[in-house]
Structure 1
Amino acid sequence: MRAVVYSEPGPSSVLRVVEREVPEPGPGEVRVRVVRAGVNPTDWKQRAGGTYPALPYEEITPGQDGAGTIDALGAGVSGVAAGDRVWLHMAQHGSAYGTAAEYVVVPLHKAVPLPPAASFDLGASLGVPAVTAHRALTSSADADRIAPGTLAGRTVLVQGGAGAVGNAAIQLAHWAGANVITTVSSAEKGALAAAAGADHVVNYREEDPEAAIRRIAPDGVDLVVEVAPAQNNDLDRAVIRNGGTIAIYANNGGDEMTLPLRATFSLNLRYQFVLLYGVAPELLAAAAEDITAALAAGALGVGEEQGMPLHHYSLERAAEAHDAVEGGVVGKVLLDLA
């Protein structure tokens, strides 16, 4: 099989396409023939050396996310069959081998049924973005699942609504009944956020975001999904309601933030930091179930019409795909394997 690998950290030029034996599934595992693989910031950051001081394996095939069909079952696996369509998440976590290959072996719980109406493009675009969004949206003290109506009466602010996590957060929050506000930096990104289902779009380059958000939510927002806390923390505190939650999942725009303690704790805020690689298995399973339910309901989508343009690359152009994500391309980058 063809697979992308790297044997040392570095720029995208360390990626190479090689021929490897098709892996065999062990007990409790399935082998998936990958049709599409998603590329996320976590992939290039790990490859560049931002995750490990030294590689934990002799070579790594990157890729946490993907979609394809089950090809073989390991011992003890039941409830699925060869040919079943699945979407993959956290495939390379804890393993040397991710989804940037024609076949990948994963524990059964990482291969989630893909509803018939959902494309492989959509399935490969879930994983890291959608599960992160789910964890952010369920980070308040009284919510641990998402379903229609669970966020009814709530106002959710999604900072950076044109990004992959922001797009997923908008779609999931909208499905769950929230009033969704999002911030963007351009009219083009605003159109994408609106296509994703945002009820209100605030272009922070054209208007005062605090005033605009307070006009929409005079009593404050219930939950902030935050991508750039170092830049936005003052704004978040200015628009959050007393007792609200700020869920932080990235460090865009700076690695440190400071805050005034009394002004912050007087709001009875709850800060929730989200990184998937330490999330409990039962919470990942809950996210997968809820995301699949949203898929089955047609509440999640990709493509320009859903606010998430797609960028396709062949396996041989994996380095270009990594560079596109690192460069901040707007939309979802996918590797085509079949």
Structure 2
Amino acid sequence: MKAIIYRDNGTPDVLQLVDRDLPSPGPGEVRVRIAVSGVNPTDVQARSGVAHAKQFPEITPHLDGAGVIDAVGEGVDQARTGQPVWLFMAAAGRPTGTAAEYAVVPADRAVPLPENTDFEVGASLGVPALTAHRALTVAEDGPRRLAPGALNGKVVLATGGAGAVGHAVIQLARWAGATVISTVSGPAKARLATAAGAHHVINYREGDPAAEIRELAPNGVDIITEVALGANLALDLAVLRTRGTISTYANDGGKPVQLNVLQNMVLNARLQFLVLYTAGPEARAAAVEDVTAALHDGALPVGEDHGLPLIRFPLHRTADAHRAVESGAIGKVLVDIAP
């Protein structure tokens, strides 16, 4: 089979297209013929060595993807053979991810795709959708699970609504009944956040964004999903309601975070940091179930008309896909592997 590998951390130039033997699934595992592989910032960080030290002599990257199960290991229902699936955390703690024609993963990381769901949708889930679910379910007085009505009466602020996680936040929050506000940096991104389903979109570079948000949410925002905490914390605290939650999944731009302790104490604010790897198996399993339910309801479409442009590369240009992520491409970067 064809696979992308790297043996050393570094720039996208360390990625190589090679031939490898077809892997066999072990007990509790399935083998998936990959149709589409999803590329996330965390994949780029792992390859560069920023995220963590390289764990294996040779690594095939990418956590997310979608395809069809073509073989199962001992203890896995044979009926799963031929099942279309979406994959998450394929390369987490393992040397082989989805940037290959086939990938072997634990059976519970291969989630059945609802009928008539495209592989591009499945490959766009994983890190973004599960992170978004976590961000929306950590509030002190909020739900631990998402479903229609779970966020009724709540106001969610999705910062960076044109990004992959922000897009998933908008879609899941709206599906669960929240009023969704999104902040963006310009008109093009505003159009994407609106297409994703945000009720209100505010350009944070113009006017008085705090006043605009407070006009929409006089009692304050219940949950803020934050992509750039250092840059946005002052605005977040200006619009957060008492006992509200800021769910932080990134700090784009790298601006240092300075906390006004008294202000946070008076608000009884919850500042929740999150990453999928250490969220725990129960939280991840709940997220998988709820995201799949949203898929069944047609709540997670992708593509420019739905607020998430798709940027596609063939397998042999995986290095270019990584460069696109590194350059801040707007949309979801995908690697097409099989028809």
| TM-score, length of structure 1 as denominator length | 0.98
Deviation at 1:213, TM superposition (A): 0.4
Determine the structure 1 residue equivalent to 2:66. 67
Instruction: Kindly provide the amino acid, as one letter, of the partner of residue 114 in structure 1.
Output: L
1:7 and 1:59 in contact (8 A); partners too: yes
1:207 to partner: Cα distance:
2.4
> Aligned-residue CA RMSD in angstroms?
0.9
Match of 2:10 in 1: 10
Equivalent residue number for residue 169 of structure 2: 169
Query: Per-residue deviation at 1:334?
Result: 0.5
- The alpha-carbon deviation at position 325 of structure 1 amounts to 0.5
**In structure 1, what is the equivalent of residue 265 of structure 2?**
265
Counterpart in the other structure of 1:277: 277
Cα distance in 2 for residues equivalent to 1:134 and 1:270: 17
Matched, 1:314 2:322: no
2 CA distance for matches of 1:6 and 1:78? 33
Deviation of the 1:79 alpha carbon = 7.2
Name the residue aligned to 1:89. Answer: 88
* Greater displacement, 57-66 / 139-148: 139-148
Letter in 2 for 1:302: V
- In structure 2, relative to structure 1, the CA distance for the partners of 1:210 and 1:79 (3 Å cut) is farther
Q: For structure 1, list consecutive stretches of 5 or more residues without a partner in the other structure.
A: none
Q: Which residue of 2 aligns with 1:107?
A: 106
Contact 2:140–2:243 (8 Å) recurs in 1: no
CA distance in 2 between partners of 1:236 and 1:144 (Å): 22
> Is the contact made by 2:231 and 2:255 (CA closer than 8 Å) also made in structure 1?
no
Code of the residue aligned with 2:113 in structure 1: it is: L
Q: Does the 8 A contact of 2:72 with 2:78 survive in 1? A: no
Which segments of 5 or more consecutive residues in structure 2 lack a partner in the other structure?
none
Q: Whole-Å Cα distance in 1 between the matches of residues 241 and 155 of structure 2?
A: 10
* Alpha-carbon distance in structure 2 between the residues aligned to 1:28 and 1:150: 33
Partner SS state of residue 90, structure 2 = coil
Cα-to-partner distance string for 1:19-74 (whole Å, 9 max, x where unaligned): 00011000000000000000000011111111233x21111000000000001000
Amino acid at match of 2:220: G
Task: Identify the residue that residue 238 of structure 1 maps to in structure 2.
Answer: 238
Kindly indicate whether the alpha-carbon contact (under 8 Å) linking 1:117 and 1:296 is maintained by their aligned counterparts in 2: no
Counterpart of 1:40 in structure 2 is: 40
Range that drifts further, 144-153 or 201-210: 201-210
In 1: Cα distance, 2:297 partner to 2:79 partner: 22
- When the two structures are superposed, what TM-score results if normalisation uses the length of structure 2? 0.98
Other structure's SS at 1:266 match: helix
Q: Give distance in 2, aligned partners of 1:131 and 1:67.
A: 15
1:96-175 superposed matches below 5 A: 96-142=95-141, 143-175=143-175
Q: How far does residue 76 in structure 1 lie from its aligned partner after superposition?
A: 0.5
* Aligned-partner SS, 1:320: helix
Deviation at 1:230, TM superposition (A): 0.3
The amino acid across from 2:134 in the alignment is: R
What code does the residue aligned with 1:76 have? G
What corresponds to 1:335 in structure 2?
335
Paired residue secondary structure (1:61): coil
Q: Distance in 2 between matches of 1:234 and 1:158?
A: 15
Q: Which amino acid aligns with 2:77?
A: S
- For residue 324 of structure 1, report the CA deviation from its aligned partner: 0.1
SS at match of 1:224: strand
Moved more, 202-211 or 39-48: 202-211
Q: Percent identity?
A: 56
Give the AA of the match of 1:2.
Answer: K
Choose 67-76 or 257-266, whichever is displaced more: 257-266
User: Partners in 2 of 1:96 and 1:187 — Cα distance?
Assistant: 41
CA displacement 1:106-150 (0-9 Å, x = unmatched): 001100010012100000000000000000000112321000000
Task: Work out the CA distance in 1 between the residues paired with 2:208 and 2:127.
Answer: 31
Matching residue's letter, 2:96 = Y
1: CA distance, partners of 2:326 / 2:246: 26
Distance 1:80 1:254 in 2: 47
Match of 1:50 in 2: 50
Cα contact 1:89–1:110 (8 A) shared by 2? yes
Cα gap change, 1:41/1:211 in structure 2, threshold over 3 Å: closer, same or farther?
A: same
CA distance in 1, matches of 2:261, 2:10: 40
Counterparts of 2:263 and 2:270, CA distance in 1? 13
Q: How does 1:16-27 map to 2 (within 5 A)?
A: 16-27=16-27
Q: Deviations over 1:162-209 (max 9, x none)?
A: 000000000000000000000000101000000000000001122221
Residues 244-263 of structure 1 aligned to structure 2 (within 5 Å): 244-254=244-254, 256-263=256-263
- Counterpart-to-counterpart distance in 2, 1:239 and 1:71: 50
Could you tell me whether the CA contact under 8 Å between 1:318 and 1:335 is conserved in 2? yes
